[in-house]
Amino acid sequence: MAESWIEGRPLPRQKARHTIPSREMRTKRRRVVDRLGGRMMGGLAVGTALLVAVIVIALLARAWPILRSHPLKELLLGRTWHPLQGAFGFWPFIVGTLWVTALGMVIAVPVCTLCAIYLAEYAPSTVRQLVKPLIDVLAGIPSVVYGLWGVLTVVPLIRERVGPWMDHHLGHIRLFSTATNPTGYGVLAGGVVLAVMVFPIIISVMEEVLRSVPDGLREATLALGVTRWIMVRKVILRRALPGVVAAVVLGFSRALGETMAVLMVVGNVPRVPQSLFDAGYPLTSLIANNFGEMMSIPLYDAALMAAGLFLLLVVLGFNILAWLVLRRMSMSGRVR
Amino acid sequence: MNRRSLWKLEQTVMKVLMGSALLLVTGCLVLILGTVVRRGLSAMNLAMITQPPRGGYYTGAGGGILNAILGSLCLAVGATLVALLLGLPIALYLQVYAGPCGLVEMVRLSLDVLGGIPSIVYGAFGFSLMLLMGLRASLLGGIIALALVELPIMCRAIEEVLKMVPFELTESAHALGITRWEVAWKIVVRQALPGITSAILLAFGRGIGDAASVLFTTGYTDRLPTSLLRPVASLPLAVFFQLGTPFPVVQERAYASALVLTVMVLVISVFSRLASNRLSRYVVK
């Protein structure tokens, strides 16, 4: 300040620094920030809601060339996959996906249901507090690690023990024969790995659902003098059935989209599997294996995008279904 | 009397079944971790985690996977930042600004649906986005795809945490006349900070292990990450590619890489647990 006196400059506007903006000004500014901030955050939220549509449209646009040139029936039910000759039949891949996923669910559903019932109805809180973090850890393990485990443990187990045993006892049935593929890399290995991967998802959703059944029902049933299991079977499971189904559907759709772990153990032969031990080739593996080389062959990238689109639409449908059911459950049951 | 003993029998049988199911699930976890640790440790050495691959690495020559470790960290940190910048405002909006209405339900539904979309589809979508923007396979592309994978996880986890903030706290804040913006950022965020930290770490852990989304979007390289517009290596793909080679020496390295990845994920999940326990000391109960 002194300097500016000496140089004869006008005083800096000191006043503004010391005055406190009036109360109205401050309130006004806070209101503006509030409104603008709210708009911005709301915009982000709506943008997220639109993202699903954007993804569907983007994949549709990229898959459009093949959807236009080939009838949908030929794509979905065609059995020949020869991109070089322009034959894009997804049937073997769709069946491969269904085989692996179905096997995974056959293994996972009973195990998960039993586990969830135990955790929700029987387990003392110490056990629950011990087991839940473990299940979280299981959910956090990366899928390549599951794949590696499949390659190191599951595949040898199937090749050396399960396969020969089944072939010896039930080998005359095509379903259990290892004649076509004794390597162990096949749909069964994929199913086992997938089952372990969906354990945490199904268990946690199912446990939540079972716990949302009101305690009054439990007390009333137990007061009739039945055992706890009868209560679970006759009352809790019945009441929670839609939610249990939704949990299974969620697990199913997760299994459907799993890529790396399955890719590593499933064998990747584009043929319709006939037996538990045959190699399969799920849609996700198809996309992952061929994405790099697709550019040179006409329509190949569109075909892979179409595969992604099919997968996406199925998963979307399942997820919306499960969401509707679960929301109704949480509304009718305990208020969360 | 007879029926009663039947009930008892049924209960016993089911209890045994339930116990074995629980054992199976936890046993699988132990088996997976055990396998990875046992096979990984035997192939582990200092060079693996301190050196990038040298020439001929994929046929058995020396070097390590430092490129993949750093690449994965860059990818996951970038993606987690992007997901946090988008996810935190969305979660706050849903919890603080918006009342129960159709729009909010729509957003929740889409978040759940986004969380269910397979990561390979995000990879394909990210790849089309990159074509649209004229990008080649690069760190930036990977961050975009991975952020999409992490966003729903982050949003849902943060929203769960925000729900735990006592209603009385926000209610009394509102009664004192502060705006919703200030409630959101000065009270709710501060109160939920431990939970938000653990949500961030959760999303980070998921991101670092995801392979399918970065498969086409980031590519793979033996060099250390230098620029956003260059391809980078990532740990999951390092495991995948090394396992795919026909050389046992290189396959051994895949086990070691998987061990590194698993340890990172486990450490992150332990930190996430610690964060929610430690930081919550200063939270109004």
Instruction: Of B145, B274, B137, B148, give the one whose Cα is nearest residue B216.
Output: B137
> What Cα–Cα distance (Å) separates residue B5 from each residue in A91, A106, A218, B8, B19?
52, 31, 21, 5, 21
Q: What average pLDDT score do residues A154-161 get?
A: 92
A59 touches chain B (CB under 8 A): yes
Q: Does residue B69 carry a pLDDT above 90?
A: yes
B241 touches chain A (CB under 8 A): no
Q: What is the pLDDT of residue A14?
A: 53
Percent of chain A with pLDDT strictly greater than 90: 55
**B97–A62 CB contact, under 8 Å:** no
CA of B51, closest CA in chain A: separation in Å? 22
Single-letter amino acid, residue A152: L
- Residue with more model confidence, B48 or B208: B208
Q: Does residue B97 carry a pLDDT above 70?
A: yes
pLDDT tens digits, one per residue of B102-153: 888 889 899 999 999 999 999 999 988 888 888 888 899 999 999 999 999 9
- Residue with more model confidence, B196 or B275: B196
Q: Does residue A12 carry a pLDDT above 60?
A: no
Q: What is the pLDDT of residue B284?
A: 66
Q: Which residues of B touch A59 (CB under 8 A)?
A: 121, 124-125, 128
Q: How far apart are the C-alpha atoms of A257 and A198, rounded to whole Å?
A: 11
Residue B256: CB atoms within 10 A of its CB come to 24
Q: Does residue B16 carry a pLDDT above 80?
A: yes
Q: What residues 51-70 of chain B have any CB closer than 8 A to a CB of chain A? A: none
Q: Does residue A334 carry a pLDDT above 70?
A: no
- Closest in B29, B116, B209 to A253, CB measured: B116
Q: Does residue A102 carry a pLDDT above 70?
A: yes
Q: How far apart are the C-alpha atoms of A237 and A116, rounded to whole Å?
A: 11
Answer whether A193's CB lies under 8 Å from A146's CB: yes
Q: What is the pLDDT of residue A4?
A: 46
Q: Does residue A320 carry a pLDDT above 50?
A: yes
Percent of chain A with pLDDT strictly greater than 70: 90
Q: What average pLDDT score do residues B259-271 get?
A: 93
> What Cα–Cα distance (Å) separates residue B172 from each residue in B100, B160, B166, B177?
20, 21, 10, 9
Q: How far apart are the C-alpha atoms of A119 and A139, rounded to whole Å?
A: 17
Q: How far apart are the C-alpha atoms of A302 and A63, rounded to whole Å?
A: 4
**A30–B261 CB contact, under 8 Å:** no
- The two tokens of residue B218 are 């980031």
pLDDT tens digits, one per residue of A107-126: 999 999 999 999 999 999 99
pLDDT band at B280; cut points 50, 70, 90: low
Q: What is the pLDDT of residue A300?
A: 85
Q: What is the pLDDT of residue B142?
A: 93
- How far is C-alpha B103 from the chain's CA centre? 28
pLDDT band at A332; cut points 50, 70, 90: low
Q: What is the pLDDT of residue A120?
A: 93
Single-letter amino acid, residue A226: V
- Residue with more model confidence, A73 or B24: B24
Q: What average pLDDT score do residues B249-263 get?
A: 92
pLDDT band at A13; cut points 50, 70, 90: low
Q: How many CB pairs under 8 A join A and B?
A: 255
B269 touches chain A (CB under 8 A): yes
Instruction: Of B153, B88, B84, B83, give the one whose Cα is nearest residue B117.
Output: B153
**B181–A30 CB contact, under 8 Å:** yes
- Residue with more model confidence, B7 or A331: B7
Q: How far apart are the C-alpha atoms of A39 and B165, rounded to whole Å?
A: 23
Answer whether B65's CB lies under 8 Å from B53's CB: yes
Residue B282: CB atoms within 10 A of its CB come to 10
Q: Does residue A315 carry a pLDDT above 90?
A: yes
pLDDT band at B223; cut points 50, 70, 90: confident
Q: Does residue A65 carry a pLDDT above 50?
A: yes
- The two tokens of residue B41 are 């440790």
Q: Helices marked H in chain A — which ranges?
A: 2-6, 15-18, 23-69, 72-77, 91-117, 125-140, 143-149, 155-157, 163-170, 187-211, 215-223, 228-231, 237-257, 260-265, 283-290, 300-332
pLDDT band at A335; cut points 50, 70, 90: very low
Residue-wise DSSP of A271-315:
S---STTS-B--HHHHHHHHTTTGGGSTTHHHHHHHHHHHHHHHH
A196 touches chain B (CB under 8 A): yes
Interface test with B, best of A122, A141, A203, A208 (most B CBs within 10 A): A141
**B262–A145 CB contact, under 8 Å:** yes
Q: What average pLDDT score do residues A329-336 get?
A: 54
Q: Indicate if the alpha-carbon torsion angle A286, A291, A296, A302 is positive or negative.
A: positive
Least confident range from A40-49, B24-33, B61-70: namely B61-70
Q: What is the pLDDT of residue A158?
A: 92
- Write the ipTM: 0.91
In the predicted model, what is the mean pLDDT of chain A? Answer: 87
Q: What is the pLDDT of residue A269?
A: 86
**A41–B90 CB contact, under 8 Å:** yes
B284 touches chain A (CB under 8 A): no
